[in-house]
């Protein structure tokens, strides 16, 4: 996080999908200060997005079976994408 501070990044969110935790830090006089800790189904209202409530389920991989995507690689071959592709598409807003 030192590099982020050096370049003036004011907030950092550390997301651990496996543990289903989110730590939020802000820079204060050159030092990182924790400004929020969320886990499980806690609704996230944290800087710099304090005006909205974010569903933490967007950050956690799904439980149970999910659809496996397939796509054509640059060589035209079909490649499999891990089960978490559905979760990533939900997180990134890709359909």
Top-confidence residue, 94 or 40 = 40
- 66 and 29 fall within a common domain: no
Which pLDDT belongs to residue 12? 93
The model's pLDDT over 54-73, given as tens digits with 9 standing for 90+, comes to 888 888 777 644 444 444 55
- 1 and 42 fall within a common domain: yes
- 76 and 34 fall within a common domain: no
Average pLDDT rounded to a whole number, residues 82-88: 48
Nearest CA to 9 out of 66, 47, 63, 52 is that of: 47
The model's pLDDT over 9-29, given as tens digits with 9 standing for 90+, comes to 999 999 888 888 899 999 998
CB neighbourhood size of 81 (10 A): 14
**Which residue range forms the structural domain that includes residue 92?**
61-95
- 39 and 76 fall within a common domain: no
DSSP per-residue letters across 29-81: TTEEEEEEEEETTPPB--TT-TTS-B-GGGTSPPSS--PPPEEE-TTS-EEE-
- 3 and 47 fall within a common domain: yes
- 43 and 8 fall within a common domain: yes
């Amino acid at each position: 996080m030192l590099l982020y501070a050096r370049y003036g990044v004011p907030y950092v969110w550390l997301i651990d999908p496996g543990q289903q935790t989110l730590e939020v830090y802000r820079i204060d006089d050159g030092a990182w200060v924790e400004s929020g800790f969320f886990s499980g189904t806690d609704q996230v209202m944290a800087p710099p997005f304090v005006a909205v409530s974010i569903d933490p389920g967007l950050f956690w991989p799904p439980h149970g079976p999910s659809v496996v995507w397939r796509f054509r690689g640059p060589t035209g071959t079909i490649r499999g994408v891990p089960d978490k592709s559905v979760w990533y598409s939900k997180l990134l807003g890709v359909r």
